[in-house]
Chains A and B, each alone.
Chain A
């Protein structure tokens, strides 16, 4: 017990970084995902082609590779003009990656909305953005929420990949303690903390789904 208390502060410090990356990635990539998703459903072919290529690239290569590329690779081009701090590099890569996944989810949601909803908004003289904001987005959110939830849970665990660019997250803190003290306890604790985090998120997501169940 006293050992657990001794290593807990370092684990919690790691968990803090995990949470920070998690939260900022969500804040950045969900709105961006919606915007890219709108682009993917647009009739403007060049825009659609560029966005499809972006999604293909982000989903088609490992997130780990993208992290390494952003942190170690980008500084090699343009004489270091694209050098990012470890933390910024991690956030950049995560937002870029997750936006692509969210965009695909939003695209699916957007395409499942009846064209008549756009048309009835149009004859009521709502502008495109008013229609998106007031009519389409609330309906899309309800549809995509379960899929978004899946990605959100994934993100908590994916955030452990930042160890590769030398950031001290939760998993790394546990790893360090395990190899230093030759015991499994830290890794078990790490597992428990991840489980707690995902349990809280699952709860929040369920509440959100309930919130949207007032209409059908």
Chain B
């Protein structure tokens, strides 16, 4: 799935956060959005994933205009792995992953569980299926969050600061997961302030600068 942003602008209370941002991600590519904190990286990701409404500009998916904020179609899901993961604390790992496929895609429980277990297996988490999020380490929570997003068969997968809460040693694990998903032609967008990490994984890098006002 190819994603294009044209002249994206976003303001909060008249403060300009994003000013005419342009970027293109080709199908199966990894795009890294870098910049210092407060530069609007996360805001840009929130616009792409439909959590914020853009104030100006256009978003195109496969050259068709697309509004993530109002889009309801289950065929064009944009998955998000949040910085704080935001797993559902009251649900077991497996139920965290199957909740949306069952509620939204109306999958049968057996089928949803089977797929979820396959995803967990791929992320070496199969033995964690029956644990609650509080019983997991940060890195494990992140992988569950990735599995949960993947279970909705997203067209694009976004990560907000995937390395910031992890031990340095786990950076390579995340890198390998992201590069592994690239092999299955997942289009991925990674927001990070970690330039080195970005250079290791990115096909393209977009630098976002804070706007002086």
Contact = CB atoms under 8 A, between A and B. Distances in A.
A135 B88 contact: yes
B134 A120 contact: no
B145 to A, nearest CB: 8
B30 interface: no
Given A117-B86, A139-B90, A122 B51 contact: yes
A125 interface: yes
Contacts of B132: 214-216
Contacts of B51: 119, 122-123
A5 interface: no
A134 B98 CA distance: 12
A114 interface: yes
B100 A126 contact: yes
B90 A124 contact: no
B152 interface: yes
Contacts of B78: 123
A60 interface: no
A132 to B, nearest CB: 12
Interface residues of A, number: 20
Contact of A125 (B74, B84, B90, B134): B74
A119 B148 CA distance: 14
A155 to B, nearest CB: 27
B80 A120 contact: yes
Contacts of B49: 123
Interface in B119-170: 132-134, 148-149, 152
A123 B79 contact: yes
Contacts of B149: 123-124
B152 A124 contact: yes
Contacts of B99: 124, 126, 134-135
Interface string B84-103: 10111110000000011001
A125 B104 contact: yes
A51 B79 CA distance: 36
A215 B150 CA distance: 24
Contacts of A134: 99, 103
A124 B104 contact: yes
A124 to B, nearest CB: 4
B59 interface: no
B116 interface: no
Nearest to A117: B86
Interface-central residue, A122, A123, A127, A215, by most chain B CB under 10 Å: A123
A16 interface: no
A130 interface: yes
A216 B77 contact: no
Interface of A: 114, 116-117, 119-120, 122-127, 130, 134-135, 138-139, 142, 214-216
14 contacts: A116-B82, A120-B88, A123-B51, A123-B77, A123-B78, A124-B149, A124-B152, A125-B77, A126-B99, A134-B99, A139-B88, A215-B89, A215-B133, A215-B134
Interface of B: 49-51, 72, 74, 77-80, 82, 84, 86-90, 99-100, 103-104, 132-134, 148-149, 152
Closest 3 CB pairs of A and B: A120-B86, A124-B100, A116-B86
Given A124-B152, A126-B99, 15 more contacts: A114-B84, A120-B87, A123-B49, A123-B51, A123-B78, A124-B100, A124-B149, A125-B72, A127-B104, A130-B103, A139-B88, A215-B89, A215-B90, A215-B132, A216-B89
